[in-house]
Amino acid sequence: MVWTCLAGEVTIRIVNAGDGRALQNQPVSVSLLYEKGEATPTKYETNLALQTDASGEARFVLPQPSPAHLAVRVGIDSGQWHCGCNVLAVTQDVMQMGIVNSAASANESKRSPDLVKAVPGEIRFVVRPLSFFERLLGPLLKQ
């Protein structure tokens, strides 16, 4: 099904669960996924390479016709951050409700409920810094 009514801007935001600050200069890749047999826009790249700005945001405008799904990957340093760094989302859900992918602990979510609140047109990644012991033991567990 083609979502021609979903014109608009999509914002991908990366936020630190520990202090609520934005993560800037982080690579973000987005794939616009169309259903088999669905018309795709001409003169529009379906694989986007973006980077977050000083506000921790990367933005793009949906083409017409809009894709059925969006695949988003955040390329942050897994040696420093807990992150569910991949999202496959229905475009209509993103535009109507927003999507949150959170690695925040239950305490962080309770302390800052707006941190994990979805906003229409946004895919929000809430990442959590690794603790000292996680950074120390992480390389040993990978062996």
The radius of gyration computed from the CA coordinates of the chain, to the nearest angstrom, equals 16
What's the pTM value of the predicted model, to 2 decimals? Answer: 0.83
Every domain of the chain and the residues it spans: 9-130
- The percentage of the chain sitting over the pLDDT mark of 70, rounded to a whole number, equals 80
pLDDT digits (tens, 9 = 90+) for 2-28: 444 456 899 999 999 888 899 999 999
Q: State the DSSP string of 39-97.
A: ---TT--SEEEEE--TTSEEEEEPPSSPPSEEEEEE---TTTEE---EEEEEHHHHHHT
The reported pLDDT for the residue numbered 86 is 94
| 108 φ/ψ angles, rounded to the nearest 5 degrees | -65, -40
The reported pLDDT for the residue numbered 142 is 59
pLDDT digits (tens, 9 = 90+) for 46-82: 899 999 999 999 999 999 888 999 999 999 987 788 8
pLDDT digits (tens, 9 = 90+) for 99-116: 999 886 555 555 666 777
* CB-based contacts of 20, cutoff 8 Å, min separation 6: 112, 115
- What topology does CATH give the domain 9-130? Immunoglobulin-like (2.60.40)
